[in-house]
Amino acid sequence: MKFSSFAAATVLSSVLALVNAAVLDVFVPQITSPTAGDTWVVGSNYTVTWDTSDAPAQITNEQGEIYLRKGSKTQSPALASGFSILDGAVNVIVPETTTVGDDYYVVLFGDSGNWSGEFSIKA
């Protein structure tokens, strides 16, 4: 069986189109709150916000999740999940079981994972 140059070019073109589409569809919004130096209090409510102004037309994964990250470890369970990353904001409660510290981040998962600035949590 012969594989023609036309067939090879068609397959290559299709593969490149898929690769380019995947790259263009990744949405990495900047987290705007909390910011570096903020302090949260255990048991309190906060609004995590992020910039949606440059969202692509087609997002590969629109379902968001918010986690706390302390140092090098992402904490479970999620503070919030099941929301659209196009919402730009979600309310969370700092769990009563959270250890106080100065090396916390909020991580937004959806199309990708991105972090807030480092902030503190106190009792």
In a domain, 16, yes or no: no
- Residue 20 falls within a domain, yes or no? no
Task: Output DSSP code: residue 13.
Answer: H
Closest CA to 105 of 81, 64, 73, 65: 73
DSSP β-bridge partners for residue 16: none
Domain that holds residue 59: 27-122
Residue 67 lies in a domain: yes
Rounded to 5°, angle at Cα 106 from 105 and 110: 140
For residue range 25-38, list pLDDT tens digits in order: 788 899 999 999 99
Q: What is the DSSP letter of 98?
A: P
Reported pTM: 0.78
Is residue 89 one of the residues assigned to a domain? yes
Residue 11 in domain: no
Q: How far is CA 122 from CA 3, 31, 40, 55, in A?
A: 66, 21, 6, 34
Residue 17 lies in a domain: no
Tens digits of per-residue pLDDT, 83-108? 999 999 999 999 999 999 999 999 99
Place of tokens 């700092």: 94
Q: What is the CATH number of the domain that holds 72?
A: 2.60.40.10
Specify if 118 maps to a domain: yes
Question: How many distinct structural domains can be found in the chain?
Answer: 1
